[in-house]
Structure 1
Amino acid sequence: MPAPENTAADTVETTPSIAQPAPTVPAWERRYRAARISLPRWADHAPAKSVFVSNASGTFEVYAWDRVTGEQRRVTDRPNGTASARISPDGRWIWWFADTDGDEFGIWMRQPFDGGADEPAVPGLAPSYPGGLGLAMDGTVVVGRMSDDEGSSIHVVSPGAEPVTVYRHAESAWLSGLSEDGTHLVIAHNEHGDAMRSSLRVLRLDGTPVADLHDGPEGGRPDSDLSSMGFSPVAGDQRLLVVHQRRGRDELLLWEPLSGTETELDLGLPGEVSGDWYPDGRALLIDHEQHGRSELYRYDLESGELARIDTPPGTIGGSGARPDGSVEYHWSSGSTPAELRSTAGGVLLTPPGERPPGSVPVTDAWVEGPGGRVHALVSKPAGEGPFPTVFNIHGGPTAHDGDHFAADVAAWVDHGFAVVRVNYRGSTGYGKDWTDALRVRIGLIELEDIGAVRAWAVESGLADPERIVLSGGSWGGYLTLLGLGVQPEAWALGLAAVPVADYVTAYHDEMDVLKAMDRTLLGGTPEEVPERWAASSPLTYVEQVRVPVYISAGENDPRCPIKQIENYVERLEQLGKPHEVYRYDAGHGSLVVEERIRQMRQEFAFVDGVIGLPVRNPA
Structure 2
Amino acid sequence: MTTQHPHASVPDQLFEDAQAEARWRARFLAARVSVPDWALDAPDASIYVSNASGVWEVYSWDRATGEHRQVTDRPNGTLHATTSPDGRWIWWFDDTDGDEFGSWVRQPFGGGAEAAPAVPGVPDGYPAGLEIGHRLVALGVSTDEGSTLYARHGDGETARFYSNENDAGVAALSRDERLLAISHSEHGDSRHPAVRVLATDGYTTVADKWDGEGKGLAALAFSPRGGDSRLLMLHERRGREELLIWDVENDTEQELTLDLPGEVAGDWYPDAEALLVVHFHEGRSSLHRYDLATGTLSAVDTPKGRIGGAGVRPDGAIEYSWSNAAEPPVVRVRTPDGADSVLLEPPGDKAPGSVPVSDAFVEGPGGRIHALVARPAGAEGPLPTVFLLHGGPHAADEDRFSAYRAVWLDAGLAVVEVNYRGSTGYGSAWRDAIEGRPGLTELEDVAAVHDWAVSSGLTDPQRCVVSGASWGGYLTLLALGTQPGRWAAGVAGVPVADYVAAYADEMEQLRAFDRALFGGSPSEVPAVYDECSPITYVEAVDVPVLVLAGDNDPRCPIRQIENYLDRLAARDVPYEFYRYDAGHGSLVTAETVKQVAIEVHFALRALKLR
Question: CA contact under 8 A between 2:20 and 2:410: conserved in structure 1?
Answer: no
In structure 2, the residue matched to 1:175 is 170
In structure 2, the residue matched to 1:568 is 564
CA deviation string 1:332-358 (max 9, x = no partner): 101111110111231110111000001
Q: Does 1:304 align with 2:295?
A: yes
In structure 1, the residue matched to 2:588 is 592
Q: How does 1:203-602 map to 2 (within 5 A)?
A: 203-205=198-200, 206-216=202-212, 223-344=214-335, 345-382=340-377, 383-602=379-598
Shift of 1:137: 2.3
Shift of 1:577: 2.0
CA deviation string 1:488-541 (max 9, x = no partner): 110000000000000000001101111111111111111121111110000000
Shift of 1:98: 0.3
Give distance in 2, aligned partners of 1:437 and 1:177. 30
Of the two structures, which has the highest relative contact order with CA contacts closer than 8 Å and spacing of 6 or more?
2
Q: Does 1:135 align with 2:132?
A: yes
Indicate which of 25, 28, 31 corresponds to 1:32: 28
Extract structure 1 runs of 4+ deviating beyond 3 A: 22-25
Question: CA contact under 8 A between 2:55 and 2:76: conserved in structure 1?
Answer: yes
Question: CA contact under 8 A between 1:137 and 1:181: conserved in structure 2?
Answer: no
Q: Does 1:200 align with 2:195?
A: yes
Give distance in 2, aligned partners of 1:612 and 1:486. 23
Q: 1:128 to 1:29 in 2, by over 3 A?
A: same
CA deviation string 1:262-283 (max 9, x = no partner): 1111112111111100011010
Give the SS at the match of 1:564. Answer: helix
Shift of 1:147: 1.1
Output the aligned Cα RMSD.
Answer: 1.1
Question: CA contact under 8 A between 1:278 and 1:321: conserved in structure 2?
Answer: yes
- Paired AA for residue 241 in structure 2: D
Give distance in 2, aligned partners of 1:420 and 1:455. 12
What runs of 5+ residues in structure 1 fail to find an aligned partner?
Answer: 1-21, 218-222, 615-619
CA deviation string 1:245-304 (max 9, x = no partner): 111111111101112111111112111111100011010000111101111111111111
Question: What is the TM-score when the length of structure 1 is the normalising length?
Answer: 0.93
Give the SS at the match of 1:348. Answer: strand
Shift of 1:24: 7.7
Give the SS at the match of 2:570. Answer: helix
Give distance in 1, aligned partners of 2:165 and 2:595. 38
Question: CA contact under 8 A between 1:284 and 1:299: conserved in structure 2?
Answer: yes
Shift of 1:400: 0.7
Give distance in 2, aligned partners of 1:369 and 1:446. 10
Question: CA contact under 8 A between 1:110 and 1:119: conserved in structure 2?
Answer: yes
Give the SS at the match of 1:32. Answer: helix
Give the SS at the match of 1:581. Answer: strand
In structure 2, the residue matched to 1:19 is none
Give distance in 2, aligned partners of 1:467 and 1:192. 47
In structure 2, the residue matched to 1:17 is none
What runs of 5+ residues in structure 2 fail to find an aligned partner?
Answer: 1-17
- Paired AA for residue 607 in structure 1: A
Question: What is the TM-score when the length of structure 2 is the normalising length?
Answer: 0.95
Q: Does 1:155 align with 2:146?
A: no
Give distance in 2, aligned partners of 1:533 and 1:348. 48
Question: CA contact under 8 A between 2:326 and 2:355: conserved in structure 1?
Answer: yes
CA deviation string 1:341-396 (max 9, x = no partner): 11123111011100000100010000010010100001110221111111000000
Give the SS at the match of 1:26. Answer: helix
Question: CA contact under 8 A between 2:231 and 2:245: conserved in structure 1?
Answer: yes
Q: 1:263 to 1:24 in 2, by over 3 A?
A: closer
Give distance in 2, aligned partners of 1:529 and 1:136. 43
Question: CA contact under 8 A between 2:477 and 2:497: conserved in structure 1?
Answer: yes
Shift of 1:555: 0.2
In structure 2, the residue matched to 1:121 is 118
Give distance in 2, aligned partners of 1:106 and 1:516. 20
Q: Identity percentage over the alignment? A: 57
Give the SS at the match of 1:520. Answer: helix
Shift of 1:110: 0.7
Question: CA contact under 8 A between 2:152 and 2:158: conserved in structure 1?
Answer: yes
Give distance in 1, aligned partners of 2:526 and 2:572. 27
In structure 2, the residue matched to 1:44 is 40
Give distance in 2, aligned partners of 1:70 and 1:404. 30
- Paired AA for residue 240 in structure 2: R
Question: CA contact under 8 A between 2:195 and 2:208: conserved in structure 1?
Answer: yes
Question: CA contact under 8 A between 1:179 and 1:185: conserved in structure 2?
Answer: yes
